[in-house]
């Protein structure tokens, strides 16, 4: 039963998360809320790890969730189910693309997908921003605004933003390394 649940959840994610890894985040958050495979907090940690290591967020998270839920077979099922929709869609599109490549309707459909993709990515960015800088569960428990605001991550974020704006061009890998070290040392 768990294999079927893993397959269906991650197949839906792969099918509807158009735009890549960040577009999977709203779906991954809903999975975290519905199942015990991983928590929203673990999702936030996985985002940090996935952004600083090779591999897409969705693949890394589906593999983690599948392994957590059902070991190596679960990891294989969830990972394959996430990529299966893309594979099938590419097969279908490539089969018909030659015939319809000059169709205005097809061009309009592909053009119309762009805003939806941008919206998914913007929504995911907003979710990551909220999860990183605000502790909503602590606020709901205590009702104190001081429990809502996570001061240290906000200070680190503002310092990083200032560095990006004020310092001469620094290679992005430097920021990734510094962010990883700060995340580990400061337990962000």
Helices and strands of the chain, counted as H and E runs:
9, 0
Q: Are residues 140 and 106 in the same domain?
A: no
Q: Are residues 126 and 183 in the same domain?
A: no
Closest listed residue to residue 182, CA positions, set 149, 150, 159, 148: 159
Q: Are residues 177 and 91 in the same domain?
A: no
Q: Are residues 168 and 145 in the same domain?
A: yes
For 116, left (φ over 0), alpha (ψ -120 to 50), or beta? alpha
Q: Are residues 146 and 156 in the same domain?
A: yes
Q: Are residues 38 and 115 in the same domain?
A: yes
Closest listed residue to residue 38, CA positions, set 12, 73, 89, 74: 74
Domain stop point among 90, 113, 133: 133
pLDDT at 76: 93
Q: Are residues 159 and 85 in the same domain?
A: no
How far is it, in rounded angstroms, from Cα 164 to Cα 161? 5
pLDDT at 148: 83
Domain count, the chain: 2
Q: Are residues 46 and 94 in the same domain?
A: yes
Domain stop point among 109, 133, 157: 133
pLDDT at 80: 92
Range of the domain at 152: 135-188
pLDDT tens over the chain, length 188 residues: 889 999 999 898 888 877 666 777 788 888 888 988 888 878 777 777 776 666 677 788 888 888 888 899 999 999 999 889 888 988 888 887 777 777 888 788 878 888 888 887 788 778 778 878 888 777 888 878 788 888 888 888 888 888 888 877 888 788 778 877 887 887 76
pLDDT at 19: 67
Q: Are residues 110 and 73 in the same domain?
A: yes
Q: Are residues 141 and 91 in the same domain?
A: no
DSSP string, 76-111: HHHHHHHHHHHHHHHHHHHHHHHHHTT-HHHHHHHH
pLDDT at 54: 65
How far is it, in rounded angstroms, from Cα 152 to Cα 186? 8
Q: Are residues 16 and 108 in the same domain?
A: yes
Q: Are residues 23 and 103 in the same domain?
A: yes
């Amino acid at each position: 039963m768990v294999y079927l649940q893993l397959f269906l959840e991650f197949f839906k994610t792969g099918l509807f998360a158009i735009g890549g890894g960040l577009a999977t985040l709203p779906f991954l958050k809903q999975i975290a809320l519905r199942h015990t495979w991983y928590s929203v907090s673990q999702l936030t940690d996985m985002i940090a790890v996935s952004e600083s290591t090779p591999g897409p967020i969705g693949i890394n998270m589906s593999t983690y969730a599948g392994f957590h839920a059902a070991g190596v077979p679960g990891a294989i099922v969830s990972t394959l189910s996430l990529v299966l929709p893309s594979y099938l869609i590419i097969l279908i599109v490539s089969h018909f693309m030659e015939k319809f490549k000059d169709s205005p309707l097809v061009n309009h459909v592909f053009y119309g997908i762009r805003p939806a993709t941008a919206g998914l990515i913007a929504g995911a960015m907003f979710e990551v921003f909220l999860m990183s800088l605000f502790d909503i569960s602590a606020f709901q428990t205590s009702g104190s605004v001081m429990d809502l605001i996570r001061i240290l991550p906000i200070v680190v974020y503002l310092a990083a933003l200032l560095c990006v704006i004020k310092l001469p061009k620094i290679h992005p890998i430097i920021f990734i390394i510094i962010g990883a070290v700060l995340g580990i040392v400061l337990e962000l």
